[in-house]
Amino acid sequence: MAPRLDFSDWWGKDRKKGTPVVVKMENPNYSVVEINGPDSAFRPVEKSRGKNAKQVTWVLLLKAHRAVGCVAWLATVFWALLGTIKKRLIFRQGVAVATEKLGKGKLVLKIIRVFLVTSLAILAFEVLAYSKGWRYFESANLHIPSTLDLQGLLHMVYVAWLTFRADYIAPVIQVLSQFCVVLFLIQSVDRLVLCLGCFWIKYKKIKPRIDGDPFKSDDVEAPGYEYPMVLVQIPMCNEREVYEQSISAVCQMDWPKDRILIQVLDDSNDESIQWLIKAEVTKWNQKGVNIIYRHRLIRTGYKAGNLKSAMSCDYVKDYEFVAIFDADFQPNPDFLKLTVPHFKNNPELGLVQARWAFVNKDENLLTRLQNINLCFHFEVEQQVNGAFLNFFGFNGTAGVWRIKALEESGGWLERTTVEDMDIAVRAHLNGWKFIFLNDVKVLCEVPESYEAYRKQQHRWHSGPMQLFRLCLPAIITSKIALWKKANLIFLFFLLRKLILPFYSFTLFCIILPLTMFVPEAELPMWVICYVPVLMSFLNILPAPKSFPFIVPYLLFENTMSVTKFNAMVSGLFQLGSSYEWVVTKKAGRSSESDLLAAAERDSKTMNQPQICRGASETELELLNQLKEQKEAAPKSVKKVNKIYRKELSLAFLLLTASVRSLLSAQGVHFYFLLFQGVTFLVVGLDLIGEQIS
């Protein structure tokens, strides 16, 4: 019962002065004002007392209209979501979907299913207890009646469950949650230090600089310009959508033609794509570009095997540097002139890495969320590590290597699916330094479908764990400084590659929903809300235009922790899925400037005589047949990606926990779990890949 407030003594001290006067106006538009004394006329009048019945009616109607509009909007959104789900389920029938290997990820799925079934059973008990009025047992200070006082078998079972929960389940969850919270705080401190380092770089304007004219000859007797020999490699595999634009961009780089050689390393197993790439190479060769086409008969080792085979050619010894571009990368013409000069008078420099820029970052919601992550990776992680440590992970493309550094570090190895990180770690152990150029950007694509993005993230998170197992003995026995060893082991591998996916999945996808059924192990508010929001703000700072997507970003990152955790476990324990290499699907997007440049080139070539290709008649006939087949081929039906069972299972687990939090009147927990569950549901049904602009 609420306490009674008695103001009689206080009110008696306030003696009224003067005679009360009541003024009544006949006009109904004016309200009745009561004057209690000479000072009452100067006191503020409450706004609510100045409203007449007509105004109150309009206010109520306006609020009712807003409430109806809100309900209608929620109903429309819910109906649209159900319609999309129904369409996905219907059109999914009869669609050929690539089957995964048996046993892949089944352990994680079984664990999630156990948690889901357990949570549903507990929820049934909680709902029954709520309806029977037993919810007061959640208070530890209240007396729990003895067995003789209880009435009914269900009541006894519920009390037994409360005792078992408090004595056995809650301590385990508390210990695990405290451990994950500690890891969460350590990772947050690391993220905060990186951001402070980035702010310091911006404030002090720290960046690698080029002194003087790097290409001017030092020989007084023979003045002029000297350009080093540069080898450019474009590895690709069945890249029908992007091969033409990448070859075109590389062939137009501003560098003396006699000082550069372009290798197109084609691992395609589709003969039609091979002929198309050969024709493109022949076209640029006819224009005077020093470019060659290479195709391996024995395709082993994926990208690492392709690069290793190309570096074994005899003519490679004549070149000093090698630039690598993936098939969807489009470097600017001045790329080599902005990167190669940093090697001059710096014999310890082994790698110059450029930043990625994305032509399709605004294509849909998924690409926007990827842009946030990758902007933070380049702007903060790569730039800070390059400026203060002279080491970071090679991104596999858009970089220039000193060939001597590659050879002394053992060359390309096929032992993991992250050959770029492998060569970077071995080069760092051999004493080579790296430079990151945040101002030099190379256009590329990000995956536009959840299926492609999921496979890419699986490879990116399973490979580092494989590499950590293989490189740990070499790191410990290397001759580099002790603090560099600690940075490699504890920060580069353990904290950012192992701990991050572990605590993200365990804390926010498993422990948090379970605490709704075990109130004794409830997480503090700053773990659920304040710190994650702060970290999300720090992540989104390098991409300020993405601030409107901060809430979807936070939810989607938790959702992706399932894939990252599964990949981390498979790589750490060398499961079969950790050795899979799937080429990321490309869409062949071009930037606006590229389209304008292509239009100008087409207009120029129309006024110029056509160049005769040095191809045989049989090759031309095959090319014509391929073009005819391409034109006559029916339009392919859009394939629908499969439904993801892990994400759907976790969606129902989180939604179940949100219902339990609603019964406990825990507002923040309810909204977080509800929105996170809906996000898992959307991703589980693969709706994130829709073209949401």
The residues annotated as belonging to the active site are 267, 420
- Parallel/antiparallel/unpaired status of strands 21-23 and 260-266: unpaired
Largest CA distance in the chain: 117
Distance CA 449, CA 367 (A): 9
Alpha-carbon span 323 to 336, nearest angstrom: 8
DSSP reduced 3-state for 646: helix
Structure tokens at 61: 């109607």
Encoding tokens for residue 392? 């970071």
Amino acid at 251: C
**How is residue 591 written in tokens?**
């930037």
The CA angle 359-365-366, to the nearest 5 degrees, is: 75
CA distances from 550 to 314, 370, 496, 534, 636 (A): 52, 12, 21, 11, 36
Burial 130-159 (b: 16+ CB within 10 A, else e): eeeebeebeeeeeeeeeeeeeeeeebeebb
Comparing CA positions, the residue from 540, 491, 531, 539 lying closest to residue 508 is 531
For the chain, report the end-to-end CA distance as a whole number of angstroms: 54
Number of continuous H segments (helices) and E segments (strands) in the chain = 24, 9
C-beta separation of 82 from 63 below 8 A:
no
| Distance of alpha carbon 242 from alpha carbon 584, whole angstroms | 12
